Structure 1
Amino acid sequence: MDLLSIKEMESKYVMQTYSREDVLLVKGQGCLLYDDQGNEYIDMTSGIGVNCLGHNHPKLVEAIQDQAQKLMHCSNIFYSEPMVLVARELVKATGMSKMFFANTGAEANEGLIKLARKYSQDHYGKGRYKILSLVQSFHGRTMMTLTATGQDKFHHDFDPFPEGFDYVKANDIASFLEKLDDSVCCVIMEMIQGEGGVLPLEKEFVQTVAKICKERDILVAVDEVQTGIGRTGSLFCYQQYGIQPNIVSMAKGLGGGVVIGGFLADKKCSEVLTPGTHGSTFGGNPLSARAAQTVLSIVNRPEFLKEVKEKGDYLMDGLKNIASSKIKEVRGMGLMVGVIVDPEQRTQYVHALRHRGVLVLTAGKDAIRLLPPLIITKEQIDKAVSSFQEVFE
């Protein structure tokens, strides 16, 4: 079917919750995507950070095919090997204690919040329940995680919202201390606020918050849904900030395109959720866990992560060298990059890049967001940067 036919059917049968780009994608190979007209695009989106190994990766495809022929789902009433192996890999790589498996980032963060509140209630009674998050944060679209999201534009139309949340200005210790009272049980942070505009937190702020929380037995949770699984040049971004969180959520890149999420907990928090207090029908599903197992076997290696850092620096250097006042700033870490432009012109730039064979994302008010597959080559980066140069110079 062609693009026009698909668009007509989509408008008739699918709820209109997305403003889609005028492209019908039909296949992908590595870091390249192809539409129904045979046009080739460099993928600088990774499905919003999901396809960390690109498209049609042979090892990932082989693992999924093999697992599909054995066991796709069996529920958590029984044991399955892939789930346990993924948990072991993540625990050993982080020094955390145990893993809970879910499906999406929002579901992972929802479970994280439940764990934090139960920990506090178990130790301090019902008075400590408040979750502090940061202004410009994004933690999901369930009612609970939407409330945790520190952006006013998401806080409309769905009243009443759950209680027990407040917001702190990022990189502002005074704002944090102002909101820190006896009702707070947990602080949740993204090391780089992706949806907020690719905004890295300052290391001093993160470390000070972690230190104060540790002194008061307030849990520190890090949302690594977008920044995790090698995206910033370490398995998790917090590992570059010199802190050890109590809880770490993840999703997106973990399955390389197969739906999976979850969160790690440290020793202090790993026994809080007991049988019956939390669950997920598809959590740890053998097919998704086998995909995650394969992703980690490739990504969680020092040489691979080093290359991500190098390619991220190479990409940002190339973008910074474009001689144009239209690019106000280039920021990010690893292969998570924001190109800051005039918000009124941003859509025009995105379309111009697409016509030159580069697919990009947006974030915040003024960022063009780049989340290419972690396997992107320097040659492909050069081509993408050349397209940016044509658009902006």
Structure 2
Amino acid sequence: MTNMAVTRELFDQVMVPNYAPAEMIPVRGLGARVWDQQHREYVDFAGGIAVSCLGHCHPVLVGALKEQSEKLWHVSNVLTNEPALRLASKMVEATFAEKAYFCNSGAEANEAAFKLARRYALEHFGAEKTQIIAFNQGFHGRTFFTVTVGGQAAYSDGFGPKPADIDHVDYNDIAALKAIMSDKTCAVVMEPLQGEGGIISPELDYVKAVRELCDQHNALLIFDEVQTGVGRTGALYAYMNLGVTPDILTSAKSLGGGFPIGAMLTTSVIAASLKPGTHGSTYGGNPLACAVAEAAFDAVNTDAVLNGVKEREGWYREGLAAINAKYHCFAEVRGKGLLLGCVLNEEFKGRAKEFLNAAMAEQLMVLIAGANVVRFAPSLVISKEDITEGLARFERAVAKIVNG
């Protein structure tokens, strides 16, 4: 078995067909570069979908992993461990939160947040307060609860009866939210910048109005910062630049720099509703994940890296504007920091996947956010040289599509 030929065809033979991966199989990464089985080199503007915050095999993360791997990998949650307590302390110190809960992914962090919101409402306001309001085109994970809260029916339909009392309104539409909120609302769930839904930033007045409505109806405000958190927008967490503080915040993706981990942050008063036995995760808060996440969190939570994100955003916007001046295919470039989306104009509407495929053919890894947006979510410390080279490859891809 060790000499088995590992090819893309093997995926079709042995893997459940819920994904349709690219033909190339990456085998090695360093910084913002990735090499495939044929030793071809790619520039990575995708970051594992906003995960690889320090790029591939960053020495700080490799060092933390190696060191912890020789100490302690796993203990059950009947015990606690030093890396988990250190990471929780640092996250609490750096944010509004007073308590942290660890799990393995963004979906699990959101699952915990939604369960906590329901439990808190039940304990404090009674059994009628169960409504969760989220936003159309939102994305909160793939568990049945989180995919139902996410406002994309294509992901949640076809699995039988959905969890109840979940409603959706359009993002940035405060009147629509106001119309369906009441004292039966237990939580409003929002991304402080919609990711999968098309890289859509919130209006500042709208975020403040959402916070006010939650206060008015004794509803919790949950910020899903799975994609925007840990430096992605140029702040440690996106809420810090919005002038609004959530009651519960979820974090994952960049939190582990590539190692699976998720976290839910909240206040002591709200956290008290998750008493022993009410929720848990076998692997959540395991020492290996927390040691790597602590190293990633420390590395990102510096002025140099966070200010560097804003500087890199400028490099991207400048380069993309130059490409668009030649090829006229983008209506706008949306987003903040290093979560950016090139919105295709009317002429190229619905063809984002073609741009992704053309980029891959030029040995550049990008993402899409729906059918109309090409998305970039690279390493937060990607070099100017790698950005320049990646954008040159992107321009060649754009030219091929525009010129037919």
TM > 0.5 fold call:
yes
Residue 31 of structure 1 aligns with an amino acid whose one-letter code is: A
Kept after mapping to 2: 8 A contact 1:134/1:189: yes
Give the structure 1 partner of residue 269 of structure 2.
268
Kept after mapping to 1: 8 A contact 2:358/2:398: no
- Please give the alpha-carbon distance, in whole angstroms, between the structure 1 residues aligned to 2:4 and 2:166: 43
Deviation at 1:248, TM superposition (A): 0.1
- Please give the alpha-carbon distance, in whole angstroms, between the structure 1 residues aligned to 2:125 and 2:8: 54
**Gap change, CA 1:320 and 1:108, over 3 Å in 2:** same
Deviation at 1:148, TM superposition (A): 0.1
Correspondence list, 1:260-299, <5 A? 260-299=261-300
Give the structure 1 partner of residue 252 of structure 2.
251
Is 337-346 or 113-122 further displaced after alignment?
337-346
**Gap change, CA 1:2 and 1:210, over 3 Å in 2:** farther
Aligned residues: 393
Give the structure 1 partner of residue 86 of structure 2.
85
Correspondence list, 1:166-181, <5 A? 166-181=167-182
Give the structure 2 partner of residue 116 of structure 1.
117
Is 26-35 or 7-16 further displaced after alignment?
7-16
- Please give the alpha-carbon distance, in whole angstroms, between the structure 2 residues aligned to 1:201 and 1:4: 48
Which ranges in structure 1 are unaligned for 5 or more consecutive residues? none
Secondary structure of the corresponding residue to residue 391 of structure 2 = helix
2:384 aligned with 1:375, yes or no? no
Secondary structure of the corresponding residue to residue 191 of structure 1 = coil
- Please give the alpha-carbon distance, in whole angstroms, between the structure 1 residues aligned to 2:276 and 2:134: 28
Secondary structure of the corresponding residue to residue 332 of structure 1 = strand
2:142 aligned with 1:141, yes or no? yes
TM-score w.r.t. the length of structure 1 is: 0.97
Deviation at 1:349, TM superposition (A): 1.8
Secondary structure of the corresponding residue to residue 199 of structure 1 = coil
- Please give the alpha-carbon distance, in whole angstroms, between the structure 1 residues aligned to 2:14 and 2:186: 43
Residue 10 of structure 2 aligns with an amino acid whose one-letter code is: M
- Please give the alpha-carbon distance, in whole angstroms, between the structure 1 residues aligned to 2:353 and 2:241: 33
Correspondence list, 1:86-101, <5 A? 86-101=87-102
Kept after mapping to 2: 8 A contact 1:52/1:374: yes
Residue 334 of structure 1 aligns with an amino acid whose one-letter code is: G
- Please give the alpha-carbon distance, in whole angstroms, between the structure 2 residues aligned to 1:32 and 1:2: 27
- Alignment root-mean-square deviation, CA: 1.6
**Gap change, CA 1:379 and 1:24, over 3 Å in 2:** same
Kept after mapping to 2: 8 A contact 1:105/1:262: yes
2:361 aligned with 1:355, yes or no? yes
The CA deviation string for residues 23-45 of structure 1, in whole angstroms up to 9 with x for no partner, is 11010011100011111111011
TM-score w.r.t. the length of structure 2 is: 0.94
Residue 361 of structure 1 aligns with an amino acid whose one-letter code is: L
The CA deviation string for residues 87-126 of structure 1, in whole angstroms up to 9 with x for no partner, is 0100010021100111111111010001101111111110
The CA deviation string for residues 127-183 of structure 1, in whole angstroms up to 9 with x for no partner, is 001110011100011110011011122232111111010001111111001110232
Which ranges in structure 2 are unaligned for 5 or more consecutive residues? 400-404
Deviation at 1:357, TM superposition (A): 2.0
Identity %: 39
Correspondence list, 1:20-39, <5 A? 20-39=21-40
Give the structure 1 partner of residue 402 of structure 2.
none
Give the structure 2 partner of residue 339 of structure 1.
342
Is 265-274 or 250-259 further displaced after alignment?
265-274
Correspondence list, 1:55-70, <5 A? 55-70=56-71
Deviation at 1:2, TM superposition (A): 11
- Please give the alpha-carbon distance, in whole angstroms, between the structure 1 residues aligned to 2:329 and 2:49: 24
2:316 aligned with 1:315, yes or no? yes
Secondary structure of the corresponding residue to residue 288 of structure 1 = helix
**Gap change, CA 1:350 and 1:286, over 3 Å in 2:** same
- Please give the alpha-carbon distance, in whole angstroms, between the structure 1 residues aligned to 2:371 and 2:201: 16
Deviation at 1:3, TM superposition (A): 12
Correspondence list, 1:45-60, <5 A? 45-60=46-61
- Please give the alpha-carbon distance, in whole angstroms, between the structure 2 residues aligned to 1:350 and 1:72: 38
Deviation at 1:5, TM superposition (A): 4.6
Give the structure 1 partner of residue 166 of structure 2.
165
- Please give the alpha-carbon distance, in whole angstroms, between the structure 1 residues aligned to 2:363 and 2:147: 34
**Gap change, CA 1:80 and 1:387, over 3 Å in 2:** same
Residue 291 of structure 1 aligns with an amino acid whose one-letter code is: V
Runs (4+) of structure 1 moved beyond 6 Å?
A: 1-4
- Please give the alpha-carbon distance, in whole angstroms, between the structure 1 residues aligned to 2:386 and 2:8: 30
Deviation at 1:329, TM superposition (A): 1.5
Deviation at 1:304, TM superposition (A): 1.2
Kept after mapping to 1: 8 A contact 2:350/2:371: no
- Please give the alpha-carbon distance, in whole angstroms, between the structure 2 residues aligned to 1:255 and 1:77: 23
**Gap change, CA 1:304 and 1:3, over 3 Å in 2:** farther
Kept after mapping to 2: 8 A contact 1:71/1:287: yes
Give the structure 1 partner of residue 204 of structure 2.
203
- Please give the alpha-carbon distance, in whole angstroms, between the structure 2 residues aligned to 1:176 and 1:311: 35
Kept after mapping to 2: 8 A contact 1:2/1:36: no
Kept after mapping to 1: 8 A contact 2:182/2:217: no
Deviation at 1:7, TM superposition (A): 2.0
**Which residue of the other structure, out of 362, 367, 372, is the alignment partner of 1:366?**
372
Give the structure 2 partner of residue 183 of structure 1.
184
Residue 92 of structure 2 aligns with an amino acid whose one-letter code is: V
Secondary structure of the corresponding residue to residue 18 of structure 1 = coil
